[in-house]
A = this chain, B = another copy of it.
Amino acid sequence: MAESAMNHEEKLDKLAEVAVRVGLGLAHGQQLVMTAPLEAVPLVRRITEHAYKAGASLVTTIFGDEQSTLMRFQHGADDSFDTASKWLYDGMAEAFRGGAARLAIAGEDPNLLAGQDPARVARANRARSQAYLPALELISGFDINWTICSFASSAWARAVFPNVSEEQAVAKLWDAIFAASRVDRPDPVAAWGEHNAELRARYSMLNAKQYSALHFRGPGTDLKVGLADDHEWAGGATKAKNGVVCNPNIPSEEVFTTPHRARVEGTVTSTKPLSYQGTLIQDIAVRFEGGQIAEARARTGQDVLQKVLETDEGARRLGEVALVPHSSPISASGLLFYNTLFDENASHHIALGQAYAKCVRGGLSMTEAELEQKGANRSLIHIDWMIGSDKVDVDGVNADGSAEPLMRGGEWVTKAA
């Protein structure tokens, strides 16, 4: 089918096919546990159809309703905000232990909770994070194949395109999602195959180098991010412990690894706003000492940022560092998506909180204590924020302290092999 011949419904169907075949790599007989905003029903149904065609034994979708979430903040008793649906998350963890795959459709209103009491928002998030942890560990530990893809909800579209009609905004956001997810290509599944091969060449080079640190320099940034011992770079396709190859993020442009929790030094300034649970945190400026945030400021959302940093001890340390060329398709769109899945793929980024065990060699079979010994951080949170631009340079620092240029002006110095 020629690109121009595809209408919206066909592209939506291609996105569903990419989510099931590339994102999940769903195996015959697997259950699928899907989470989605209510508005995403048309995509949910297409994914459900592709999942059954791929041999799913059962597809169960847990829909979220943002209006109902908001009602809690409007009408709920103050003593209610430390409660989470632990029974549901424990059920999901049980599904994963039983072999179910996991698909999340993102499309949240980035401003949903903007007007609500930050203390209540933080309490609700903390309760939710604690309740979700057992399920999240099975996901981030790749016990199962999983993926996240996106739906252009109207509230999200209005935030990204505030100056056009809602209908136009939704159409524009869909164009951006389809392009970034490579479903506007004649053969999206093949396009993902090529893309995965490029990412593989890049992270293989970095794994061969085994730098002891990355050095970021740019406006307001002079940051040395020590890497975990035996760190492993990853990107694109991942083989889960159940043997299934999945692409956990649709889209994905990054290669990423695990920093050393105690070896981050210097200052760093965010280059894009962070949309966190309905609050926009802009112009974050942070100073690290011994791996820990010693000072943190933000032009907007500072109170929310402070609450985040108080979540637990690991919330002040890094769990991920990722490199993304400035010329990547999402960056080239020039858009700010107010959604981590997209914005992190337009820019280098670091994440506060939980590290990925798979980014330590042999990490998926290690205990928490063993991972910590390698330098991997542990926390209830994992929050990515963007620190790259065409003005940020990156050096790879060797164990002997010598540095070599890795990225200049936002681009790789060497071509992928």
Contact = CB atoms under 8 A, between A and B. Distances in A.
A62 B87 CA distance: 13
Interface stretch (A41-49, A109-117, A166-174, A337-345): A41-49
A67, A71, A94: which has the most chain B beta carbons within 10 Å? Answer: A71
A242 interface: no
Contacts of A92: 87, 91
A59 B79 contact: no
A98 interface: yes
A87 B100 contact: yes
Interface string A42-79: 00110011001101111111110101100110111101
A336 interface: no
A213 B270 CA distance: 78
A83 B95 CA distance: 12
A117 B357 CA distance: 46
A71 B63 CA distance: 18
Interface bin, chain A: 35 or more
Given A49-B71, A75-B53, A87 B80 contact: no
A362 interface: no
A127 B88 CA distance: 20
A63 B34 CA distance: 12
B65 A52 contact: no
Contacts of A88: 60, 88, 91, 95
A31 interface: yes
Contacts of A53: 75
A298 interface: no
B95 A85 contact: yes
B79 A87 contact: no
Chain copies in complex: 2
A85 B34 CA distance: 12
Interface string A309-338: 000000000000000000000000000000
B91 A72 contact: no
Interface string A11-40: 000000000000000001101010000100
Contacts of A52: 71-72, 74-77, 80
Nearest to A49: B71
B91 A29 contact: no
Contact of A63 (B29, B38, B91): B38
Given A95-B85, A100-B87, A48 B71 contact: yes
Contacts of A45: 65, 67-68, 71
Given A38-B41, A45-B65, A60 B76 contact: no
A84 interface: yes
B58 A83 contact: yes
Given A45-B68, A68-B44, A71-B52, A57 B29 contact: no
Given A56-B76, A62-B62, 11 more contacts: A28-B77, A31-B85, A38-B38, A52-B80, A57-B83, A58-B85, A60-B85, A60-B88, A87-B92, A88-B95, A90-B94
Interface of A: 28-29, 31, 33, 38, 41, 44-45, 48-49, 52-53, 55-63, 65, 67-68, 71-72, 74-77, 79-80, 83-85, 87-88, 90-92, 94-95, 98, 100
8 contacts: A31-B83, A31-B85, A38-B63, A44-B65, A53-B75, A61-B65, A63-B63, A91-B91
Identify the 4 closest CB pairs spanning chains A and B, nearest first. A91-B91, A87-B95, A52-B75, A57-B83
